[in-house]
Structure formats: structure tokens, C-alpha cells
């Protein structure tokens, strides 16, 4: 009998199997003895030669296989899409005339709306849908996929009355496409799905805010428990603002963006999007001006690749218009020397920790500045790993305002010795404004990752592999050091631009295509390439030199 060899990375063994064996059958052998299975939770999928595959995948050639569960980023993505599909089916079956829209991700879940569901109370709708989802989960229904001609798939979604997905598919240049099915309900998801509804063992669905619903995800560290979600009214209000901007520009989906590009309308779109940003910076400056009697310092923070530095420069311009004498201070210059830098459990330096900054020195300098003294400011040498003084100094006068920028700026520990009345806090993040269709959103994490890939290559000489390799540590640091303090902000600013992914595509695609197949980062590179394939490229020539995008592309009129 013909056989072939596979390498199972989870157990570091080589195994002989029959051609056509499914990943599910291969994993099943280990389910009989969970005590020896290296994954804590049930398998959702696998990396096969570092490409994500679902458990129905059949093996016909020698492969390297690593099974994963929900704790892996790929498993988390599959779980999210599958849970949304189960919600979509529940809404369609319970309220056939209703339209489910997944608006955006939130900390711990997804904010959704259900329109045209009838006259029932929103709490009744949530309860009905939730009970039906529990029923679907209990039936352990398989998620199935079917490869078909694109023309046939378009007819399928047309018959199913999924207009946004139909428009997207009509613009595709593919010959065949994979469609997803759940107990007769069809849709198109752009990730692989988990084996069955029974795999979705932890979730919740309830009303949220004054008009929507929350599809809650589990805590990957305690899978059987639903986490207590923090109240984030300020962040939620920014999402609402971005939906207003989307409506204003009539660009809710990728299809609408591509239509504008094909009609040669990207120049106008870019200028309007940039004008909305400038308007917001002016509004923030006005808010600070209204508190000018006591505010002496603006603290500006945000996660990686959110556009903090450009935001600091543009806010400085708007404050200058109002008559402020603006001084700027970067927290990057207050890193402690390498011998004092905290370390991670694996022994590597933890540059994302707030304790990697010289907090006592920073507070001493701030106190002296607010007392009117001239202070010599350090400059950090990132090559040698030490701060040094080269005669750079600051002094504030009665009309001065100090802009302090860095990822930890909103952490109360950073400026604990400074009176809170002197502070105005700004949080900057790229909250993606465009969706694939009604149920397939673009995650802010993907938007920022593309920004960072482009910036790292342009200004640090890093390739996409190195950026993707470091991304998990960046995300870990954000979760610990940035996101818990975002609601401390007096105001939030959404730095995402409706047109930006079309521009980033030009720079990111060549980089992603060079990520080697023999590393796990290849899976993320493949995902991003498939995602970028939806977008028509947008020429960056229309982007003004003051744009946040110039922080990543180059060509900024600001000095960084």
C-alpha cells in the first residue's frame, strides 16, 4: 500500500500515513490520550507547510504539520469567523428579513447591528438569537466549504440576497472561489473555519449600548470563562464617529473604495479624508485652549504604528495657531540604560515595559520645567543602549505648553508626581474605517501591521519577516501597557484613513512575497497577501506631505 511521511511539529515525530488522510483523522489519534497531546484545548486547524488549513484538508504529499488551538493567532482568527457565521445563520433563520452587520471589533468581541428585525424589543431579539445559537452549537453542525466557479458563486449569493458580498465578488478576477456553508446557509468568509459549531464552546451574545449588540469572544487564557469586559465609552464613541465619516464619504466597503479608484476619484477622496483629520486636530487643539488656565502638558499615546509622531507634530501646528508656545518631549529619550532594562521570562529585554523608562528622572525634569527652570534633556542612543546629554535643553514660559509623546504617556505611573490638573491626555489609534462586507470586517491589528511592515522596511531596513516575527511581542506589550489606559484619555483620535490600504498595498506586497515558506510567519504573510488582493492600488502622489501616511511611506514635511 502506498504511504507518505508527515512531520508533526507538536510532538516532534515523523509519521507514515495513507494518501488522502484528513487532518481531522490524523489529530484524532491523539485525542484518545489527551494527557500526551501538547495542546490544552481542542484542535481548530493546522499549519500545513506553514499555510493555514481546516481539519477537512486531505494530505497527498509529504508535509510538515503543526496543529493549533484557539490560543494561536490563526486559531483565534478561525474561531472569530466561525462564531460570526453561526450568528449570521441564527439571525437569518430567526428573522429572515433582517440584516446583520458586524460593525467593528471591540476589546473582547464584536459590535453588531440587526436591522429590519420587526417590532420586537431589542432584548427579545438578543435572547431569541442567543437561544438559537445555543441550539446550533449543541447540534455540532459541520462548517463546510465548496469550491465553485465564480459565476456560479455570484448566482448563489444573489439568490441568498447578500448584496455587498455579491458586489465584491463581481469585481473579482478569479475563475474559482471557495464558498462556506452551515446547515444550508451560505456566505463567503475569507479565513478557514473551525470543524463544527460544537467547537464554539465559549461565547455570548447580548444587547450593547443604546441600539446594538455584542458578540463576545472567550478569554484564551481561561477558555471556559467569559471575561468581564471593561467599559470603554470613549473608544466606542470614536467608532461611531468613524462610521459617520464612512457615511459622509460613501465608502463603507472595499467595493465602494475600488469603484472610486476605477472612476479616477482617489484624489478627491484623499483630500477629503485628510481634511477630516485636520478638522479633528483643530477640534482637539480647541479643547486644550478651553482649559488653558491650568493645562500645561499634553500627553499623547497610542499603540505601535498608530501615527503618534505625526499626530504630535500636527497638533503642535494647531496649538501654535491658537497662540501657544509649543515644546515637544519624546519619551523615547528617557529609556534607561541596557543594564537597567527589565527583562522578559525568556531573558530578552522588555522594551515595552513602562519600567524601561527612567520615571524618576522624567518626573524631576517635568517638575523643574513647570517651575520655570531650564532643563537639559537626554538623548537616547539606541545603538549603544545608553542615554547621553549633548546640550539639548528646554524651558517653558507662561504661554508654553509641553507635548509629551510615547506609548506609555497615559499610564498614571509615568507622571505620578505631576498634578493631574496640568495634564490633557490624547489617545491615538488606527481604527480601520472600511469593511469587506456586512460580516467580514478589517481588523485594526491588520491595518497597523501593514503600516509597520512598510515603515520598518523604509526606515529601519527590516524585511517583512522580521516585522512579523516581532509583532507578537509588540501586541503583548500593547495589551499590558497601552490598552488598559486608553479610557484615561480626554479625547481619542482615529488615525486610520479610508484610502490607506490601497496605498500600503504597493509597498507591502513585494515585502510579503519574500517571506520564506519555511517559517511560521509565512502563514501571516499569506493571509495579508490574500487580503491585499481585494484592494485596487492607489498612487501615493496625491498624499500631502503632512499626512500621517508620510510617517510610514516617507516624504513627510515634518522632521522625525
For 141-178, the pLDDT digits (tens) are: 999 999 999 999 999 999 999 999 999 999 888 999 99
Per-residue model confidence as pLDDT tens digits over 389-408: 888 999 999 999 999 999 99
Task: Look at residue 274 in the predicted model and tell me its pLDDT.
Answer: 96
Q: What is the DSSP string of 409-458?
A: TT-TTTTTTS-GGGEEEEEEE-----BSSSS-BPPHHHHHHHHHHHHIII
Range list for CATH 3.40.50.300 in the chain:
233-553
CB atoms within 10 A of CB 103: 18
Range list for CATH 3.30.980.10 in the chain:
74-216
CATH for 4-69? 3.10.20.30
Task: Look at residue 39 in the predicted model and tell me its pLDDT.
Answer: 57
Per-residue model confidence as pLDDT tens digits over 428-443: 999 887 889 999 988 8
The pLDDT-based confidence of 257 (bands split at 50, 70, 90) is very high
Cβ-contact 50, 518 below 8 angstroms: yes
Per-residue pLDDT at 139 exceeds 70? yes
Per-residue pLDDT at 370 exceeds 60? yes
Task: Look at residue 373 in the predicted model and tell me its pLDDT.
Answer: 96
Task: Look at residue 32 in the predicted model and tell me its pLDDT.
Answer: 53
Task: Look at residue 34 in the predicted model and tell me its pLDDT.
Answer: 46
**What is the DSSP secondary structure assignment for residue 505, as one 8-state letter?**
H
Average model confidence (pLDDT) across the chain:
91
Residues pairing with 102 in the sheet: 112
Task: Look at residue 351 in the predicted model and tell me its pLDDT.
Answer: 84
Task: Look at residue 211 in the predicted model and tell me its pLDDT.
Answer: 84
Mean pLDDT of 99-127: 89
DSSP strand pairing (400-405 vs 393-394) = unpaired
The pLDDT-based confidence of 490 (bands split at 50, 70, 90) is very high
Per-residue pLDDT at 104 exceeds 90? no
Residues pairing with 214 in the sheet: 111, 206
Task: Look at residue 344 in the predicted model and tell me its pLDDT.
Answer: 84
Per-residue model confidence as pLDDT tens digits over 268-318: 999 999 999 999 999 999 999 999 999 999 999 999 999 999 999 999 999
233-553 adopts what CATH topology?
Rossmann fold (3.40.50)
Per-residue model confidence as pLDDT tens digits over 29-76: 765 554 455 555 788 999 999 999 999 999 999 999 999 999 899 999
User: Whose grid coordinates read 476605477?
Assistant: 262
Mean pLDDT of 499-516: 97
Per-residue model confidence as pLDDT tens digits over 323-342: 999 999 999 999 999 999 99
Task: Look at residue 476 in the predicted model and tell me its pLDDT.
Answer: 85
Range list for CATH 3.10.20.30 in the chain:
4-69
Residues in the chain: 560
Per-residue model confidence as pLDDT tens digits over 197-255: 999 999 999 998 888 999 999 887 777 777 777 677 777 777 777 777 777 778 889 99
Please name which of 90, 72, 56 lies closest in space to residue 187, comparing C-alpha atoms: 90
- Residues of the chain above pLDDT 70, percent: 97
Task: Look at residue 38 in the predicted model and tell me its pLDDT.
Answer: 52
Mean pLDDT of 501-530: 96
CB atoms within 10 A of CB 45: 29
CATH class, 74-216 region: alpha beta
Amino acid at each position: 500500500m502506498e504511504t507518505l511521511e508527515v512531520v508533526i511539529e507538536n510532538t516532534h515525530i515523523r509519521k507514515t500515513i495513507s494518501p488522502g488522510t484528513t487532518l481531522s483523522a490524523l489529530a484524532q489519534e491523539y485525542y484518545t490520550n489527551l494527557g500526551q497531546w501538547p495542546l490544552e484545548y481542542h484542535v481548530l486547524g493546522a499549519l500545513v507547510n506553514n499555510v493555514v488549513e481546516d481539519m477537512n484538508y486531505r494530505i497527498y504529499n509529504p508535509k510538515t504539520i503543526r496543529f493549533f488551538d484557539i490560543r494561536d493567532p490563526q486559531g483565534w482568527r478561525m474561531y472569530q469567523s466561525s462564531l460570526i457565521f453561526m450568528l449570521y445563520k441564527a439571525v437569518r433563520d430567526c428573522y429572515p428579513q433582517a440584516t446583520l452587520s458586524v460593525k467593528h471589533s471591540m476589546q473582547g468581541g464584536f459590535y453588531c447591528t440587526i436591522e429590519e428585525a420587526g417590532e420586537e424589543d431589542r432584548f427579545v431579539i438578543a435572547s431569541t438569537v442567543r437561544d438559537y445559537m445555543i441550539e446550533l452549537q449543541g447540534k455540532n453542525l459541520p462548517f463546510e466549504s465548496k469550491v465553485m466557479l465564480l459565476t456560479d458563486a455570484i448566482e448563489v449569493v444573489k439568490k441568498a440576497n447578500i448584496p455587498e458580498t455579491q458586489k465584491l465578488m463581481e469585481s473579482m478576477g478569479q475563475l474559482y472561489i471557495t464558498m462556506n456553508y452551515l446547515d444550508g446557509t451560505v456566505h463567503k468568509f475569507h479565513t478557514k473555519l473551525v470543524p463544527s459549531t460544537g467547537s464554539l464552546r465559549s461565547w455570548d451574545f447580548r444587547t450593547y449600548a443604546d441600539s446594538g449588540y455584542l458578540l463576545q469572544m472567550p478569554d484564551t487564557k481561561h477558555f471556559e470563562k467569559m471575561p468581564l469586559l471593561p467599559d470603554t465609552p470613549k473608544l466606542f464613541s470614536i467608532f461611531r464617529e468613524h462610521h459617520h465619516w464612512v457615511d459622509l464619504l460613501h465608502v463603507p466597503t472595499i467595493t465602494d473604495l475600488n469603484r472610486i479608484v476605477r472612476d479616477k476619484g482617489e484624489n478627491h477622496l484623499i483630500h477629503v479624508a485628510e481634511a477630516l483629520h485636520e478638522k479633528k486636530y483643530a477640534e482637539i487643539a480647541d479643547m486644550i485652549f478651553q482649559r488653558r488656565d491650568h493645562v500645561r502638558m499634553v500627553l499623547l499615546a497610542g499603540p505601535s504604528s498608530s501615527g503618534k509622531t505625526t499626530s504630535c507634530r500636527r497638533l503642535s501646528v494647531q496649538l501654535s495657531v491658537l497662540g501657544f508656545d509649543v515644546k515637544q518631549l519624546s519619551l523615547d529619550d528617557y529609556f534607561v540604560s541596557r543594564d537597567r532594562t527589565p527583562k522578559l521570562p525568556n531573558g530578552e529585554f522588555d522594551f515595552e515595559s513602562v519600567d524601561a523608562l527612567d520615571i524618576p528622572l522624567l518626573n524631576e525634569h517635568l517638575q523643574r520645567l513647570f517651575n520655570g527652570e531650564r532643563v537639559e534633556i537626554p538623548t537616547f542612543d539606541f545603538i549603544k543602549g545608553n542615554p547621553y546629554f549633548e546640550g539639548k535643553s528646554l524651558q517653558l514660559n507662561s504661554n508654553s505648553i509641553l507635548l509629551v509623546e510615547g506609548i506609555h504617556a497615559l499610564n498614571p505611573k509615568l507622571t505620578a508626581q505631576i498634578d493631574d490638573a496640568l495634564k490633557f491626555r490624547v489617545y491615538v489609534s488606527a481604527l480601520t474605517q472600511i469593511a469587506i462586507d456586512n460580516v467580514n470586517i478589517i481588523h485594526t491589528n491588520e491595518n497597523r501591521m501593514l503600516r509597520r511592515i512598510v515603515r520598518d522596511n523604509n526606515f529601519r531596513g527590516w524585511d517583512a519577516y522580521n516585522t512579523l516575527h516581532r509583532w507578537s511581542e509588540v501586541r503583548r506589550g500593547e495589551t499590558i501597557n497601552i490598552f488598559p489606559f486608553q479610557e484615561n484619555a480626554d479625547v481619542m483620535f482615529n488615525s486610520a484613513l479610508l484610502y490607506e490600504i490601497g496605498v500600503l498595498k504597493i509597498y507591502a506586497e513585494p515585502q510579503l512575497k519574500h517571506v520564506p515558506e519555511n517559517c511560521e510567519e509565512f502563514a501571516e504573510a499569506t493571509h495579508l497577501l490574500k487580503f491585499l488582493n481585494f484592494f485596487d492600488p492607489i498612487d501615493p502622489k496625491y498624499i500631502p506631505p503632512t499626512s500621517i501616511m508620510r510617517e510610514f511611506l516617507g516624504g513627510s514635511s515634518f522632521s522625525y
